[in-house]
Chains A and B, each alone.
Chain A
Amino acid sequence: MKMSDSLNKTVTFQPHQTKQTSPSPATLSTTGRLMSYNDQLKAGLQNGIGFTRLLDQLISTTSTQELFQAVADLTAYHLDTAYIVFPQQYSRSDFYLIFLNRLLDLHQLSGVVLQSSDQYHELYHEYPGINAAGYFVFKFPENDPSGAYYIEKNSQLELFYLDFTKHLLRFNSHTLTQLLLVDYYPKLDHQNIKKFATILLAIGNYLKRDFGFDVDFGLLDPINSCVYQISEPDLPTTIIDQLFVIAAKGGKMLEAGADQSAVLKLDNDVTVTIFREADPQQAHFGEWLLKVWDPQQTISWFDVLLHYQFLRDWYLNNLPSLEIKADLQYFS
């Protein structure tokens, strides 16, 4: 890791210019001024020490709760004072990246490497196997002080939205599809794409379990009860006809299920169901929805798309209708 060596490039924290508790130096005697200056320095140093304690905590704690507290406190920390300015500082994105990296470490999950860029004076995430295609950092929306987007730096695709204050995580099915299935699929080893998706899923699971985050996994959700909402709830049945034809070419039969649903039985007892919600009590009554079922609840719609060429073709050819909806509140 390398500190940012220029304030202009990664300044994130503004010193307290306005908040002064002691009387104005102009009204004091020389000795008084000296003492006041000294006190300010001490306070500034103490402030700095406090910061280093939090940084220690972020880097070395073995408790997920302390880790979370550290990142929350560091994010809000004002390191500089009117008397002491630290020229080399990490950015908020850097803290977030360190946090995720450490969170995965604490769960003994490897696969994300925290790197530092000399060129841009920032930290970034890279994933062995897909690092040739890009790297990942956090981006902060201007009018939203607590949220952050995890983006692929080259394409600027926002993969998920993270908010530590609201305890909220939203994956973006649209960008995940674009990055992993459209951009990466033809040029990268599919095992490595899968590994990357597995880590994203793990991040969601840890935030949910360890800190009670409200998580929308989007198309990465492997739970059987997950119902994927598609972009065109009033799906024309010709699109299901297309699946029927293309599945036959791929050696799978699209079956007629109950209530005019379409059922696709895949290998290893994985079943994809396209159905129209028939229960007026349900939120999405009358809408076409997607479900993926597997005995271990480890297979998501994404996994199925990654594995089956014909499903991927069908999905990508009909994205305007079929794309799994992303939370519009966070992704436009």
Chain B
Amino acid sequence: MAEVSPVEIEQFQQSAKELQKKVSNKIRYLQTLLNAVQAHDDRLIYQLIDGENYSHQIMQAKHGTADAGNERLLNDVTAQISQYLSINLLSYLKETYPFFYFQQTGLGNYQFFFGNWWDRRLFGTLDILKVAFEFDEIEYQKLKRAFELEQENKRLNSDQIAVISQQTDQLQALINSQAERDQQKEKIRQQLKQLAQEKVLPWEASKIRENKQQLVSQLSELTDQDEKAQKAYKLIRESQKDVLKLSKEDTLIGYEKQSIVAKFGSFENFEARNKSLYRDYIADLIATKGRVKIENE
């Protein structure tokens, strides 16, 4: 082994000390987390796993006290952390959002349905570590739009249903007027026959031709309508299906709106509540500290 200089020894000891400090810091971090888990101190766990979010939301700090290095240690156990935290969180959410029905899709993964009614909509997923809903954007926008339309005294699909109903009425009228058309056609055919039999004087020829042309085009227009009437039955059946689909969606959203109004008073309050969910939940954890919710592990 080569001779080691005192400076090098000094450096070596210095770096060992540095590393010890770093590792000790990590051990301390993990030890604190372990203690928090053992003590069922979910609030502390939230603070430890995402300091940035915690200080931002709870302390309203401009600069978060992120401990990114230590938090990265947990990268391969986030599913387990989520799973653990989900238990208290879900019982809180079930109270706060009684109309959301959660369903586990994997370790620490949850999706939720809106409502307990027939064919309720899958409404999003739950981000347990962030204490936030990831709403299905399309479904959420429909709900939001339905609340906006309330002022116009309309449901989400009112206009569309009205348009389809109007079309259906027209089609039905076309079907209903079949007998009338048959009569008209018969009359025109008689007239054409008469024209063909009449003796035509040379100076009347063009007038007669014009007359005949007019009758022929009337007849073809009526035949066109007959064809449309033939297809009308099928179209009406399809429209009925469309209307059912739209009415069903309106009914679903109607229940969703009722649920939100019953719990939050308005959609705005609901949105505000969603925004402050993390803060509200941590506050709830602080308020219930010492009261262990889940007795047995």
**A contact set with B: CB distance below 8 Å:** 237-238, 240-245, 248, 253-256, 262
Contacts and interface: CB of A to CB of B under 8 A. Distances in A.
B248 A254 contact: no
Given A238-B241, A253-B255, A245 B247 contact: yes
A255 B251 contact: no
Contacts of A243: 118
A245 B255 contact: no
10 closest Cβ pairs, A-B complex: A254-B118, A244-B118, A248-B251, A245-B247, A241-B248, A245-B251, A262-B118, A255-B116, A253-B117, A256-B118
B251 to A, nearest CB: 5
Contacts of A242: 244
Contacts of B248: 241, 244-245
Contacts of B244: 238, 241-242, 245
Interface centre among A240, A255, A256 (most CB of B within 10 A): A256
Interface of B: 116-120, 241, 244-245, 247-248, 251, 254-255
Contacts of B247: 245
Contacts of A241: 118-119, 244-245, 248
A240 B241 contact: no
Contacts of A240: 118
B230 to A, nearest CB: 23
A243 B244 CA distance: 10
A9 B133 CA distance: 81
A272 to B, nearest CB: 12
Contacts of B254: 248
B117 A244 contact: yes
A270 B254 CA distance: 24
Contacts of A237: 119
B221 to A, nearest CB: 36
Nearest to A274: B118
B120 A256 contact: yes
A39 to B, nearest CB: 77
B251 A256 contact: no
Nearest to B247: A245
Interface centre among B116, B120, B241 (most CB of A within 10 A): B116
B121 to A, nearest CB: 11
Nearest to B243: A245
B117 A256 contact: yes
Contacts of B245: 241
B292 to A, nearest CB: 32
B203 to A, nearest CB: 65
Nearest to A253: B117
Contacts of A245: 244, 247-248, 251
B289 to A, nearest CB: 37
A212 to B, nearest CB: 42
